[in-house]
C-alpha cells in the first residue's frame, strides 16, 4: 500500500505587487529584479491571513479529491509565518473548514516544509495510523520581511497550497530529507527576545538585530545548487529510477537562476523544470504545492507520470520525494 496525492488546491491574496510598484519606494528596477531572480510580481496579503489562505487552499484540495472535511484524519500545516504562535495553524485550519475528526499540528522546516509534511503524512499512512491526510504550505511572508531592504523584500510573496493524500496502489515511492543546522544562520529571523523583570534593563542582552527575516543570499545560493542535485540523486537511487525516467522536477521556487543551475548540473532539459516564480516570487513552504496545483489543474500532469519534488530552506533543511502521479 502506498500514499498518493488525490487532490490539490491553492489560494493567493487578491493584491498583485509588480516590480514597477516596488520601484516607487525602493532604489531598484524591474530589470534589476528580473535579471537576478526571474521574479516579475508577487501576491501580497492586505486583508487575507495565513489561516484564511490555508483554509481556502485546503477546501479546494478536498473538492478536487471529492472529499469532505469530516473525512480528514490528519492535518499537517507547514509555515514560518502563522497568525499565532499558538494555537497552531493546523488547528486553526481544522476549525475553519470543520474537519472535526482530524488530528492537527504544524511543521516548521521553512521552504522545505511542504515536503517534510508530505513525508511525515506518508509515514503515518503507511504504518496504518491514519488513512488520509490534508497537508498545506501557507505563508504571509510580507509581514516578516524588511520592506526597506531591496536585497530581500523583492524575493518573497504570500500564498498557500494544499494536497489531500490517501491510500493507493502507487504514489510516493521514496523520500530523502535532512538538515544542516551548522549553516542555519545564513537565513534566520529573531523571535521575541527574553523580557522579564530579572533581565538587566528588562531585556536579554543576547538578542541582537531586528525581527525581520535576514539572509545571506550568496550562501543560500551555494547551498541550494549543491544540496538539491545531491538530494535528487539520492532519492532516485532509493526509488530505483534513472534520472531520464523523471517527467517533471517540481522544485522550490526560490530563484530562477538556482533552478537553471540545478537543471544544468543534473544534465536534464529545462522543460522538465516547470516554474511559476515570475508571477509569485518565493512563497517558502507554499511554493511546491502551489506549483503542483497549477500543473494538476492545467492538465500538465498525467496519472502514472514520475515526479521528483525537491526543496530547501532555512534551518538549513532540504528534501526530495519521488512520486508516481
Considering only CA atoms, which of 142, 138, 162 is closest in space to residue 42?
142
Distance between CA atoms of residues 43 and 198, nearest Å: 43
Its CATH class, for the domain covering 2-169, is alpha beta
CA distance from start to end of the chain: 15
Q: What is the DSSP secondary-structure string of 57-116?
A: HHHHHHHHHT--GGG--EEEEE-SS-S-SSS-HHHHHHHHHT-TT-EEEEE--GGGHHHH
**Would you name the residues annotated as active-site residues?**
111, 252, 282
Distances (CA, A) of 69 to 52, 57, 73, 111, 132: 16, 13, 9, 26, 12
Domain spanning 174-324: CATH 3.40.47.10: yes
Taking only the tens of pLDDT, the chain with its 325 residues reads 789 999 999 999 999 999 999 999 999 999 999 999 999 999 999 999 999 999 999 999 999 999 999 999 999 999 999 999 999 999 999 999 999 999 999 999 999 999 999 999 999 999 999 999 999 999 999 999 999 999 999 999 999 999 999 999 999 999 999 999 999 999 999 988 888 888 877 665 555 567 899 999 999 999 999 999 999 999 999 999 999 999 999 999 999 999 999 999 999 999 999 999 999 999 999 999 999 999 999 999 999 999 999 999 999 999 999 999 9
Nearest to 319 by CA among 267, 221, 252, 243: 252
Question: What are the residue ranges of CATH 3.40.47.10 in the chain?
Answer: 2-169, 174-324
| Whether this model's pTM surpasses 0.85 | yes
Nearest of 148, 126, 120, 164 to residue 9 by alpha carbon? 164
Amino acid at each position: 500500500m502506498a500514499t498518493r496525492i488525490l487532490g490539490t488546491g491553492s489560494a493567493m491574496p487578491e493584491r498583485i505587487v509588480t516590480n514597477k510598484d516596488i520601484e516607487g519606494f525602493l532604489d531598484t528596477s524591474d530589470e534589476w529584479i528580473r535579471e537576478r531572480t526571474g521574479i516579475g510580481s508577487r501576491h501580497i496579503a492586505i486583508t487575507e491571513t495565513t489561516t484564511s489562505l490555508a483554509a481556502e487552499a485546503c477546501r479546494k484540495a478536498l473538492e478536487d479529491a471529492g472529499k469532505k472535511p469530516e473525512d480528514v484524519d490528519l492535518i499537517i500545516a507547514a509555515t514560518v509565518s502563522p497568525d499565532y504562535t499558538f494555537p497552531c495553524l493546523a488547528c486553526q485550519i481544522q476549525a475553519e473548514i470543520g474537519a472535526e475528526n482530524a488530528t492537527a499540528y504544524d511543521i516548521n522546516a521553512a521552504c522545505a516544509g511542504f515536503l517534510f509534511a508530505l513525508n511525515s503524512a506518508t509515514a503515518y499512512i503507511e504504518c496504518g495510523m491514519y488513512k488520509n491526510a490534508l497537508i498545506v504550505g501557507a505563508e504571509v511572508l510580507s509581514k516578516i520581511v524588511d520592506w526597506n531592504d531591496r536585497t530581500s523584500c523583492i524575493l518573497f510573496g504570500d500564498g498557500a497550497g494544499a494536497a489531500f493524500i490517501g491510500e493507493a496502489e502507487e504514489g510516493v515511492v521514496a523520500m530523502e530529507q535532512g538538515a544542516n543546522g551548522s549553516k542555519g544562520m545564513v537565513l534566520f529571523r529573531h523571535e521575541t527576545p527574553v523580557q522579564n523583570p530579572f533581565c538587566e534593563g528588562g531585556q536579554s542582552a543576547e538578542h541582537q538585530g531586528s525581527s525581520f527575516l535576514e539572509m545571506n543570499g550568496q550562501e543560500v545560493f551555494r547551498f541550494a545548487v549543491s544540496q538539491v542535485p545531491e538530494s535528487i540523486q539520492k532519492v532516485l537511487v532509493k526509488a530505483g529510477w534513472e534520472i531520464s525516467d523523471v517527467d517533471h522536477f517540481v522544485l522550490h521556487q526560490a530563484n530562477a537562476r538556482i533552478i537553471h543551475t540545478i537543471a544544468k548540473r543534473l544534465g536534464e532539459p529545462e522543460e522538465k523544470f516547470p516554474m511559476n516564480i515570475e508571477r509569485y516570487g518565493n512563497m517558502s513552504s507554499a511554493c511546491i504545492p502551489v506549483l503542483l496545483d497549477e500543473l494538476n489543474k492545467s492538465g500538465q500532469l498525467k496519472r502514472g507520470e514520475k515526479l521528483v519534488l525537491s526543496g530547501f530552506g532555512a534551518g538549513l533543511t532540504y528534501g526530495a520525494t519521488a512520486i508516481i502521479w
